[in-house]
Amino acid sequence: MKKIILFSSILSAFILQSQTTCENGMAGSFPCDNYDLMSQIPLSTMNANGGSDSWGWTDTTTGKEYAIIGLDNGTAFIDISDPISPIYLGKLPSAVGSSSWRDVKVYQNHAYIVADFIFSGSHGMQVFDLTRLRNVTNAPETFTADNRYTGFSNAHNIVINEDSGFAYAVGTSRSGPFEGGPLFIDIRDPKNPVDAGGFLSTGGEAYSHDAQAVIYNGPDTDYTGREILIGSNEIEIVIADITDKANPVTISTIGYTDIGYVHQGWFTEDQRYFLLGDEADEANVGFNTRTIIFDFNDLDDPKFHMNYTGPTSATDHNGYVKGDKFYLSSYRAGLRVMDISDIANKNITEIGYFDSFPSSNSVSQNGAWSVYPYFDSGNIVISDIESGFLLVRESNTLSVNDFTQKTAFTLYPNPTQSGVTIEGINTSEIRKIEIFNVLGKKMQEITKFDNSNNLIINLEYDPGIYLLRINDVTKKLIIN
């Protein structure tokens, strides 16, 4: 097993387990299958006692990626552009009090942060301009919010539809006019949120614990182009048309057997199937982790499609779809990754995991709270209640083309000890040359070249396998 211990002055003498491959079912102290540990930052570094939700932001100006981690006493911002040496940039303290439930989403380079179960005051929604992270020179910093929206007191989660420019606060006060249903907030002017009403379901339970809102482009053409909200409403799913904020309409509701607590769900990318997690069914009934899947081919008449049962008894929490994969934070069982490419035929298979809570996979609310799988780099954030921030990625992958691709240029000698010659490509055709290690860390970038058909690159790296990319084509390079 290859392990590198990283020392960072920015992290004030904390020693982090970093760049640890998954071998023989373990990545250092963490059980795993097909997912490697890139890096970890413990709660102590962030001066916190508990972790909660997470999200991510990619700065389109610089290309840098950032993790956003909910903490009991605030929100942490982490520069993960070097995934093996992440930089804890600092924290935005909680608006009031402390909470084990802090949730965050992103819109137009701004983070929107809510908290629940704060008994010492009204937290509202903090607004933070993420472009400020570009200018951090003395990390970690203590940040201030750019604005604070107080149109509600506390909320269990914040949902954002980036295509419409609206945020939806869910899990707010049950005594309000919408009885805990989603509150509509216009954030198209990102720093100046505006109250836009709310939704009271007419189908049954109004209180919405979580939700997803989309501009609909699924198979039910009756609703093409409409803004559709799918609410996880404790005892049922509620599907609503919220296009007209002044007149939202319940389309339909659906339940299922052995309901414990309808917690959170996510559409497949074709908006045909909806994958739901129930936060109490494993404990109440006693079966293994269950994901309930619905067929939303007809939004007016949704159908139960299948149950997927996982390999452990852990409670599931938040799940997200990216492409043909479903990424599930499964509390004590950590991150679980399922192949859903054949979901139509009721075939779902677990293809990997990274267990951030090694001591147990039993039913309990410890471990992985959430995951964020949407970075273009392929790096995946895990926010863990006890372990803080972890960054993982699928084994033997990079966000580059397959290094077995055949191209005109060649590398020699390969294997090599101290240098490599690139032959067969004119420097006028090269935009840049990059060298990565097998876990995704960029080791070198070259953008200036002499006019020549042959390039010689000196290499001063440890022995191992590396990937050399020219423009968008990558080949394997071995140093011995």
CB atoms within 10 A of CB 300: 11
Give the pTM.
0.84
Predicted local confidence at residue 439, as pLDDT: 63
pLDDT at 5 over 50: no
Tell me what the mean pLDDT of segment 46-52 comes to.
97
- The helix (H) or strand (E) run that includes residue 16 is strand 15-18
pLDDT bracket for residue 453 (50, 70, 90)? low
Residue-level length of the chain: 480
Residue 404 has pLDDT above 60, yes or no: no
340 pLDDT more than 80:
yes
Q: Where is average pLDDT lowest: 38-42, 76-80, 118-122, 349-353?
A: 118-122
Residue (of 74, 12, 67) closest to 49 by Cα position:
74
Instruction: Note the pLDDT tens digit of each residue in 151-166.
Output: 999 999 999 999 999 9
Per-chain mean pLDDT for the chain = 90
% of the chain beyond a pLDDT of 70: 92
- Flag whether pLDDT at 476 surpasses 90: no
Predicted pLDDT at 265: 98
List pLDDT tens digits, range 370-394: 999 999 889 999 999 999 999 999 9
Q: Does 7 have pLDDT greater than 60?
A: no
468 compared with 3, residue with greater pLDDT: 468
Residue 440 is inside which H or E element, if any? none
Average pLDDT over residues 107-131: 95
Closest CA to 455 of 416, 410, 408, 401: 410
Question: By C-alpha distance, which of 377, 382, 273, 378 is closest to 318?
Answer: 382
Mean local confidence (pLDDT), 82-94: 94
pLDDT in tens, 250-308: 999 999 999 999 999 999 999 999 999 999 999 999 999 999 999 999 999 999 999 99
**460 pLDDT higher than 90:** no
In 3D space, the residue among 458, 457, 456, 451 whose CA is nearest the CA of residue 426 turns out to be: 451
The full set of domains in the chain, from first to last, is 4-394 (2.130.10.10), 410-479 (2.60.40.10)
> For residue 140, is the peptide bond before it cis, meaning its omega torsion is within 30 degrees of 0?
yes
Rounded distance, CA 429 to CA 314, Å?
53
Instruction: Give me the pLDDT at residue 452, please.
Output: 62
Picking from 15-19, 302-306, 435-439, which range would have the lowest pLDDT averaged per residue? 15-19
Burial of 163 (0-12, 13-18, 19+ CB in 10 A): exposed
Percent of the chain with pLDDT over 90: 72
When pLDDT is cut at 50, 70 and 90, the band that residue 67 belongs to is very high
What sign results for the dihedral spanned by CA atoms 183, 187, 191, 195? Answer: negative
Q: Is the pLDDT of residue 3 over 80?
A: no
Q: What is the pLDDT of residues 208-253, one digit of tens each?
A: 999 999 999 999 999 999 999 999 999 999 999 999 999 999 999 9
Instruction: Give mean pLDDT, residues 64-92.
Output: 95
Q: Give the per-residue pLDDT at 190.
A: 98
